[in-house]
Amino acid sequence: MNRHDVELLQSITGYPALSITMPTHRNFPENKQDVIRLKNLASGAVERLLGEFGKREISGLLNNLDKAVESVDHNMNLDGLAIYVNSDISRVFQLPFSPRERTVVDDTFLTRDLVFALNRSSRYWLLALSEKPTRLYEGFRENLVEVRDEGFPMEHKGPGGATALPGGKGARKSAYRDEYHGQFFRKINRAMAGFITDDPLPLFVTGVDRFLSMYRDISSFPVEGEIKGSHDRTSPHELGKMAWPLVEDYLERHRKALLGNLAKAMSEGSVISTIGEAWQASLFGRGRTLFVEEGFHYPATVDESGLEIKPSDDPEAPGVIDDAVDEVIEAVLAAGGEVVFLPDGTLADHDRLALITRY
């Protein structure tokens, strides 16, 4: 899942659009009940839809729903599941937290759980370099989900990979090998450009020393940490446990550097420290760096101008934004700003949120 996925789903309108979310279990035997619960939710959705439409009218949606349900590998469950289906598309996402169990039929998809996962989870890219094949993972803390898109997983099919190196006796095969490996890694780098442009997460890499060195030399993006060694047969579960300490170290270093920027910006008078002011500043693209405590949520109503918000006790009430903090986060990111999450209590002097402004 990346921002492109979410933006695509948010751009789709038309009734009926079916959204299913549910908590899931990581381990056996608890995950066995997830199979039954998902089928029951899907059956309930079908029953509701057939109460409104003829079977032929929604045959595309029903087929896509069947495919989505059957595609879920419950042995790979995280803490939650989100499924989005209409007559044209079918999308399934694993979530690193437990969402509410719900089935929603509307003219748009219910993407708030995806937005939450994008905004509140410690996410990163992990590139596992190998000839057969190189794999790309999206990381959520210690959890890895393999990306199967834009050419990944990518196998080295050229000389020195799937085919023999050129030249006979006496040929400088090591030079040929390095040349063709370089071409392969440049192809990987071009593919990575699309992912990092759409979702600029920190990049971590694993592989043998020679591959790490070659990729480091040609990468268009900084590599924030490396796991040395061949991990062709390492499970995503084990690889994620190896990657997470490196990610934690990077996040801590990054936070400290940015907190230094916050202190400097405070002395210059360019910091906003209330959710109401941050709401307005983000609407006009003024947010440069947003600092927010991980557990800070703010259900709110918005006035007719769209500029003033007031707190609400009921996030499910009509006309209430379930979390204005997430809206501010999205606005800051959309304007090219940065968001930094901090442990609860860190921003006590700033009403749990601080925004460095551009002007």
> Which tens digit of pLDDT belongs to each residue from 170-185?
445 565 566 777 888 8
For 251-273, write each residue's pLDDT tens digit: 889 888 888 999 999 999 999 99
Q: What is the pLDDT of residue 294?
A: 83
Distance CA 332, CA 324 (A): 12
Could you tell me the end-to-end alpha-carbon distance of the chain, in angstroms, rounded to an integer? 33
| Mean pLDDT confidence for 29-39 | 93
Q: What is the value of pTM for the model shown? A: 0.70
| Mean pLDDT confidence for 48-68 | 96
**Burial code of 114-125, b = ≥16 C-beta within 10 A, e = fewer?**
bbbbbbbbbbbb
Q: Answer whether residue 140 shows pLDDT above 50.
A: yes
Sign of the alpha-carbon torsion through 227, 228, 230, 233: negative
Q: Identify each DSSP E strand in the chain by its residue range.
A: 17-23, 80-85, 90-95, 102-106, 123-128, 135-140, 143-147, 203-207, 223-228, 271-272, 287-293, 300-302, 309-311, 338-342, 353-357
Cβ-based neighbour number of residue 48 at 10 Å: 14
Question: For a pLDDT cut of 70, what percent of the chain falls above it?
Answer: 94
Q: Are strands 223-228 and 203-207 parallel, antiparallel or unpaired?
A: parallel
Q: What is the DSSP string of 210-253?
A: HHHHHHHHH-SS-EEEEEES--TT--HHHHHHHHHHHHHHHHHH
Mean pLDDT value across the chain: 89
Tell me how many degrees the CA angle 102-103-104 measures, rounded to the nearest 5. Answer: 115
Q: What is the pLDDT of residue 171?
A: 45
Q: What is the pLDDT of residue 356?
A: 96
Per CATH, the homologous superfamily of domain 123-250 is eRF1 domain 2 (3.30.420.60)
Q: Answer whether residue 94 shows pLDDT above 60.
A: yes
Spell out the domain ranges in the chain.
3-120, 123-250, 270-357
Better pLDDT: 204 or 336:
204
| Mean pLDDT confidence for 322-351 | 87
Under CATH, which number does the domain 270-357 receive?
3.30.1330.30
Q: SS3 of 101, please? A: coil
Sheet hosting strand 135-140, strand order edge to edge? 143-147, 135-140, 123-128, 203-207, 223-228
Q: Band of the pLDDT at 86, cuts 50, 70, 90?
A: very high
**Burial code of 132-146, b = ≥16 C-beta within 10 A, e = fewer?**
ebbbbbbbbbbbbbe
Q: Answer whether residue 311 shows pLDDT above 80.
A: yes
Q: Band of the pLDDT at 193, cuts 50, 70, 90?
A: very high
Q: Which of 21-30, 115-124, 171-180 has the lowest mean pLDDT?
A: 171-180
| Mean pLDDT confidence for 59-66 | 97
Q: 3-120 sits in which CATH class?
A: alpha beta
